[in-house]
Structure formats: C-alpha cells, structure tokens
Structure 1
C-alpha cells in the first residue's frame, strides 16, 4: 500500500508515524542478504508525492539486497535519550526500484541527491508505533485492510488492554 493510501486509511496514526520519521534525517534500514541474514544500514527516507521513497548510492549492498528480495523494515531514528517522548516507529513492506527516467529526474530535481543513485518506491505492509503513556507501554499497529490495533500494557504482570 502506498503512503497516500495509509494516510487515507488511518490519517491520525499516519501523521504520528510521518512526524516521527521527520524528526531526524537518518534512519535504520533492514534488508536481507543473499544467505537470508539481516543487514542493517543507515538511510534517509523521504515522504513525497504520496509515497515513501528510499534513495541509495549506486551499487550499495542495501540496493542490491532490495533488487534481489524487496522485503524491508525501516526503523525511525530513536533520537537521544531513552524517554521515547515521540514514540518508537517502524514500517515494513516491499521496496521496488524505480527506473522510469521521468520519475527519477523529477525526484532528483526536488531532493537533489548525489547522482547517480538508486530510487525505491515502497509498498507498506505494516506500521508500528510504541510509546509510553504512564503507567502503560502503548503499542499501535496497522496493516492494510485491518483497523488500527492498540494494546496498552502495564509494566507488571497485568493482562494487556486491547482496543
């Protein structure tokens, strides 16, 4: 599902997720190596034209990983400290390389990345936000075709509250 469809389905939640990614420029991308092992890499993510875009240096391992297997997870930079004031956010999905010269040129004209570069458009399959609302740890998760799910869990052995 493209980003604009996420915004249409769960606008407030999508806003919180996007805001969290916007707080910092660099994030952590997880891809799969040839042998199936995870690879973590730094990355700048960009929300533009109703999509979440991933740009990469030419020939980078993360780009080669995504060309071979499009599955990814992207974790927003948690920032300094451990207070989780804005929550902890990650998105998962599939990333497909964009090779249309007009789309790549339009993106490059606005973003001005170092060229050449690989550009990937994402199809999102899951968004997750974890935050603290004393006395709870709050887990919000969303998948296409399902409602937003919120679980509030106390730091003790109490059963979670699901909403």
Structure 2
C-alpha cells in the first residue's frame, strides 16, 4: 500500500450469498432437530443463538440465528443486517417489543433487549473488535451506526432446559 492510500475495505460476498448462508444455517437447525446450528462462544470467538421475537406488525413469532458473546449474564449481538443498509427486522421487532426468547445449546432463556449506549456500547464494541479485527471496516460500510444489542435475562421468569 502506498503512503497516503487508504486501506481497502475487507471483502464481503454478494448480498444473495449472505442471505443464502442464513437460510442454509436456519435449515440445518431445523433439520438437525435443533442440535445443529447453535454453539457457545469460544475464547475470542462468537457463538450462535436462535432469537425469537414478536413481529411488530403481525404479532407473530419470528426467529433468526445470530452471532453473540456472553457478558456476564447478558448475551450481546450486533444489529448489522449482513453489513448492508437498514436495520434487521429482528432488531426493529425488539425495539417495538423488547421481550424475547433465545435458544442456546444449554436451553431456552427469556430475555429483554436494549441497545447499549455510552460507555457500555464502547466496552462491548471493543470486545466485538477482539473477535473480529475487521469490525470497524465492516461497520463503515453502513451509513448508520450499528446497534450493539444486549439481551438481559428477564428476572423472575424461569428458563427452560
């Protein structure tokens, strides 16, 4: 790279490839009897969970598989929409109705979502940056700030195993 030349943005596959990968992942989860497709986060790596929200317009359950890491009792994800423009539907649903459920390798958990702000956002974004060294470059592709979504356990409600 020449002096004064900006680094190139990391490569992303075309949008249709990203959407196909999401569909395949969800299909593996369904076909695998809910045993395939979810995994816990590893040291300096993310895990996969299944989030079920209530549709903001339909009132029907909607599920998506997301990457996450643990922050104490909380689960943390990014509302990145495959690094494309716009907010993902699951995040719009959570903003309207923050109560949801997550399926993890160890069972189901009832959660309440909020967007991290201020120092909390900065700290959690830094943790994501440890997991994905290209995080800032990917986020720069979006015209709006990417929400850091915190899924807190709902108190007083049992978790299913």
* TM-score bucket of the superposed structures, by smaller chain: 0.5 to 0.7
Q: Matched residue of 1:36: which SS?
A: coil
Greater helix fraction, Structure 1 or Structure 2: 2
Q: CA deviation at 1:117?
A: 2.0
Q: Matched residue of 2:153: which SS?
A: strand
Provide the alpha-carbon RMSD of the alignment. Answer: 2.4
* Alignment coverage as a number of residue pairs: 99
1:69-148 matched pairs, under 5 angstroms:
69-77=97-105, 88-100=106-118, 102-112=119-129, 113=135, 114-115=138-139, 116-125=145-154, 126-129=158-161
1:18-33 matched pairs, under 5 angstroms:
21-22=40-41, 25-33=47-55
Distance of aligned partners of 1:43 and 1:109 in 2 relative to their CA distance in 1, 3 Å threshold = same
Distance of aligned partners of 1:42 and 1:50 in 2 relative to their CA distance in 1, 3 Å threshold = closer
Q: Matched residue of 1:21: which SS?
A: coil
Q: Does the 8 Å CA contact 1:43/1:56 hold for their aligned counterparts?
A: no
Distance 1:49 1:106 in 2: 13
Distance 1:90 1:109 in 2: 27
Structure number with higher relative contact order (C-alpha < 8 Å, ≥ 6 residues apart): 2
What runs of 5+ residues in structure 2 fail to find an aligned partner? 1-38, 81-85, 130-134, 140-144
Instruction: List structure 1 runs of 4+ shifted beyond 3 angstroms.
Output: 20-24
> Aligned residue for 1:41?
64
Tell me the TM-score normalized by structure 1: 0.52
Q: CA deviation at 1:49?
A: 4.8
Q: Does the 8 Å CA contact 2:73/2:152 hold for their aligned counterparts?
A: no
Distance 1:98 1:50 in 2: 15
